[in-house]
Amino acid sequence: MSGQPLILGIETSCDETGVGLVRGCELLGDEVASSVDQHARFGGVVPEVASRAHLEAMTPTVRRALDGAGVKLSDVDAIAVTAGPGLAGALLVGVSAAKAYAMALGKPLYGVNHLVGHVAVDQLEHGPLPKPAIALLVSGGHTSLLLVNDLATDVVSLGDTVDDAAGEAYDKVARLLELPYPGGPPIDKAAQRGNPKAIRFPRGKWGDGTYDFSFSGLKTAVARHVEDADRGGEPLVVADIAAAFQESVVDVLTRKAVDACVEHGVSTLVISGGVAANSSLRELALQRCQEAGIELRVPRPRLCTDNGAMIAALGAEVVAAGLPPSTLDLATDTSLPVEHPLAV
Ligand code: KG4
Ligand code: ZN
């Protein structure tokens, strides 16, 4: 294993400054500094605040990751960094830092795709990903179904959200229910005490023959339900609303993901991104995968949310595939398509 290159991964696409150290599929170091507390009172990430937090956290987080892995900066063989998609200013901080490390160390730089990183990270927990695999990526910014033929060179988008991302829907519904930000964990918790059948919320793009998703109609239905209860002077049964909302989200996500596996003859499904931490999503996906004879791989929650290890994991794949490094002109791309695991 030690014959494989040591990859330093840097992630700054949103509000987590992540630094990971990886050799092949082996995770050596993983440190994350989050600015989420600074955004909580705004109910969403404030880009300028996130960028400044990245700048302050970058060097100490790299130092902690190196110390945790018991390696020196001079041991690093290549640097991988998130080039997109993500927040413009936040990405710039990470890419600038990665360029500085690459130049100072005289080591190659690889600008990689955040979304593909969310899939690649699974290899650190479950070993090499079978080819092909289907990946369901569910986070605060994205909801995508991917056909992953090869992590470094061949990722095909099967479908995407046409409006809100799944995590964004959780965050907005949490706000309607006066639950804290980010909304996923408190809704997940409240839902466990509720009755998902108490209210029938719509299932966006259900059975429409595509692998696209839509959550804004669901969010509007929850808003209307809350308004109606307010007007009627009825108490809000938060647990039931959370449970019914959650059932609508995970029902559509798991149904479409399993359908994609069946249609493409793929026997491995990976679910990743912050929403993959959701207990109900994990449960229903497992049940439906078992019924369909599909192997389900879900990284542990720590690896599902944004981190540097996922970027190092994808960097290791890109290096192993022999792809050419990025130049020091590497630009950021706030909407880097998922079909580009390596930014050009
Ligand atoms: O992947 P991530 O950390 O950051 C992005 O790239 O967006 O995902 C963050 C999202 C947030 O919207 C948060 O509410 C959601 O993941 N989330 C959850 C849970 N834990 C985090 N959603 C549902 N259930 C959870 N347990
Ligand atoms: Zn992410």
Q: Is residue 338 one of the residues assigned to a domain? A: no
Please report, for the domain that includes residue 186, its CATH number: 3.30.420.40
Together in a domain, 107 and 40: yes
Count the helix, strand and coil residues of the chain and give each as a percent rounded to the nearest 5.
Answer: 45, 20, 35
**Beta strands 16-23; 78-84: pairing state:** unpaired
Count of residues making up the chain: 344
> Do 167 and 51 share a structural domain?
no
Give 83 Cα–ligand 1 centroid separation in angstroms.
Answer: 21
**Tens of pLDDT along 193-225?**
999 999 999 999 988 999 999 999 999 999 999
pLDDT for residue 2? 61
Report whether pLDDT(323) > 90: yes
Q: Is the pLDDT of residue 233 over 80?
A: yes
Best of 275, 283, 302 for a ligand 1 pocket test (most atoms within 8 Å of beta carbon): 275
Query: Cα-flanking dihedrals φ and ψ of residue 199, to 5°?
Result: -135, 140
| C-alpha 16 – ligand 1 centre gap (Å) | 12
In a domain, 1, yes or no: no
| Ligand 1 atom closest to Cα of residue 174 | 14
Instruction: Specify if 327 maps to a domain.
Output: no
Do 149 and 55 share a structural domain? no
* 107 assigned to some structural domain: yes
Residue 340 lies in a domain: no
- 155 and 276: one domain? yes
**What is the mean predicted confidence (pLDDT) over 154-167?**
96
As a whole number, the mean pLDDT across the chain is 96
Among residues 254, 255, 249, the alpha carbon closest in space to that of 170 is found at: 249
Residue 188 lies in a domain: yes
Contact 32, 307 (CB under 8 A): yes
Q: How many domains does the chain have?
A: 2
* Residue 320 predicted with pLDDT over 90: yes
Domain shared by 256 and 155, yes or no: yes
Token pair in block for residue 123: 């290899």
Ligand nearest to the CA of 165: 1
Residues 140, 283, single domain; the answer is yes
- Both structure tokens of 143: 């909801």
- Please tell me whether residues 18 and 96 are part of one structural domain: yes
- Pocket around ligand 1: residues whose beta carbon is below 6 Å from it? 14, 139-141, 167, 170-171, 182-185, 188, 273-275, 277-278, 305-306
Give the residue numbers spanning the domain of 27.
Answer: 6-121+307-320
What is the pLDDT at residue 39? Answer: 82
- Examine the domain organization and report whether 85 and 186 are in the same domain: no
Q: How far is CA 139 from CA 94, 101, 176, 200, 259, in A?
A: 20, 29, 19, 24, 20
pLDDT higher than 80, residue 303: yes
Residue 36 phi/psi, 5-degree rounding, is -55, -35
Q: Which of 191, 269, 251, 261 is nearest to 215 (CA)?
A: 251
Region 24-30 average pLDDT:
97
Indicate the SS3 state at residue 87.
Answer: coil
The mean pLDDT of 254-283, rounded to a whole number, is 97
**335 occurs within a structural domain:** no
231: confidence class by pLDDT, cuts 50, 70, 90: very high
Q: Is the predicted pLDDT of residue 40 greater than 90, yes or no?
A: no
244 with 142, same domain?
yes
Q: Helices 166-176 and 238-264, interaxial angle, to 10°? A: 170
Contact in structure between 89 and 55 (CB atoms under 8 Å): no
Whole-number Å distance between alpha carbons of 250 and 279: 10
Q: Is 178 a member of any domain? A: yes
Assess whether 314 and 260 both reside in one domain: no
- Return the closest-CA partner of residue 245 out of 280, 208, 196: 196
What average pLDDT score do residues 297-302 get? 95
**For residue 239, is pLDDT > 70?**
yes
Question: Nearest ligand, CA of residue 277?
Answer: 1
291 and 187 housed in the same domain: yes
Q: Please tell me the distance from the alpha carbon of residue 96 to that of residue 91, in angstroms, as a whole number.
A: 8
- What are 203's two structure tokens? 């299932």
* Gyration radius of the chain's alpha carbons: 20
- Reported as a pLDDT band with limits 50, 70 and 90, residue 1 is very low
Asked whether residue 77 falls in the same domain as residue 214, the answer is: no
